[in-house]
Structure formats: C-alpha cells, structure tokens
C-alpha cells in the first residue's frame, strides 16, 4: 500500500516536473523534436536549443552537480568559462553558465542551465542547453533566457 502510494506520488511529481521542464522553443527557433521532458529546437543560423531531464539516483545537490559539470567542461573538455549566475528557472533555483569552446573548427558559445528537482524516489536533473556560433550567440541570448523563464 505504501509502495503503491509512493509510486503514485512519484508519478505525479514526475509529470509535474517534466511538465515544467519542457519550455516552449525560444522565438526564432523551430521545434524539431519534443516530448515528455525534452524540447529540441533549431534556428535558421544553426543555433541549437535543447532541454532535457536526467534521473539522479545519487540525490546530488545543485552545488554538487554544478561543480561536477564545470570540472568536466573546463578540466576535461577545455571549455573556457565566461559567465555564471544564479537564477530561477520555472520558479526553482538554478545556475546558468556560459562557456566558449572550439568545435568543428569554429568558436562556439554554450549556455547551460542546471536545475535540480527533488522527487520522492529520485531527484531529477534538468538541463537546458543553447549552442551557437560565437558571432550569433548574443542575438539569441535574450529569447533563450525568456523561454526558460529565468530571472
């Protein structure tokens, strides 16, 4: 009985969670794929926007995953960290980071926003990513932030 209640509660929290983790595509972007917990959209200049959800069995905190991500991006992949700020994404505390990296011969800017949603059985990690050529990154930045409801 308790298990059944827990499952139902988990299901409800999952539905609520993914419901608010899949925002509309930013203005100027076209959705190429969306579904439960994710949205994938692209702009005419090849800028990409992707929101995803991962299950977190470790129940890591926002700080833990933030440091893990930065460590991997900077120390393993060689990204340059440009900016970082605490925001609210869908009313929940989140961290927005901006990196610069060279990929496929071009300089890219990469915005990633991290949010942790606590669940009954497991936490959920929400990731919003925006990748654009350095030259057009700023053109889309405001609409991407607006789509995430970050402030």
- Do the beta carbons of residue 22 and residue 37 sit within 8 Å? yes
When binding is defined by CB under 8 A, the residue of 107, 118, 138, 142 that contacts another protein is: 107
Number of residues lying near another protein (CB under 8 A): 35
- C-alpha 71/C-alpha 59 separation (Å) is 19
Nearest in space to 80 (alpha carbons), one of 60, 109, 46, 54: 109
**C-beta of 35 vs 105, nearer to another protein:** 105
Q: Using the structure block, give the residue that is written with the tokens 């789509």.
A: 147
**C-beta of 5 vs 61, nearer to another protein:** 61
E strand segments, 36-121: 38-43, 48-56, 80-89, 92-103, 106-117
Question: Could you give the string, one character per residue 112-131, with x where binding to another protein holds by CB under 8 A and - elsewhere?
Answer: x------------x-x-x-x
Counting Cβ atoms within 10 Å, is residue 86 exposed (0-12), middle (13-18) or buried (19+)? Answer: exposed
**C-beta of 3 vs 104, nearer to another protein:** 104
When binding is defined by CB under 8 A, the residue of 2, 3, 4, 105 that contacts another protein is: 105
Beta-sheet strand order (sheet of 48-56): 29-35, 38-43, 48-56, 123-133, 106-117, 92-103, 80-89
When binding is defined by CB under 8 A, the residue of 17, 25, 26, 79 that contacts another protein is: 79
> Binding to another protein by residue 42, rule CB under 8 A?
yes
When binding is defined by CB under 8 A, the residue of 24, 87, 101, 141 that contacts another protein is: 101
- Contacting positions for another protein (CB under 8 A): 32, 40, 42, 48, 50, 52, 54, 56, 68-69, 71-73, 75-79, 99, 101-108, 110, 112, 125, 127, 129, 131, 134-135
């Amino acid at each position: 009985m308790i298990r059944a209640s827990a499952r139902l509660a988990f299901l409800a929290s999952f539905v609520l969670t993914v419901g608010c983790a899949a925002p509309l595509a930013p203005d100027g972007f076209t959705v190429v794929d969306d579904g439960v917990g994710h949205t994938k959209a692209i702009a005419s200049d090849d800028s990409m926007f992707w929101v995803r959800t991962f299950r977190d069995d470790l129940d890591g905190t926002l700080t833990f995953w933030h440091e893990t991500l930065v460590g991997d991006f900077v120390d393993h992949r060689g990204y340059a960290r440009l900016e970082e700020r605490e925001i609210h994404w869908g009313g929940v505390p989140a961290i927005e980071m901006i990196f610069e990296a060279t990929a496929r011969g071009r300089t890219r800017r990469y915005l990633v926003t991290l949010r942790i949603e606590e669940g009954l059985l497991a936490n959920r990690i929400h990731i919003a990513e925006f990748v654009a050529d350095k030259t057009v990154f700023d053109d889309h930045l405001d609409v991407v932030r607006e789509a995430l409801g970050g402030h």
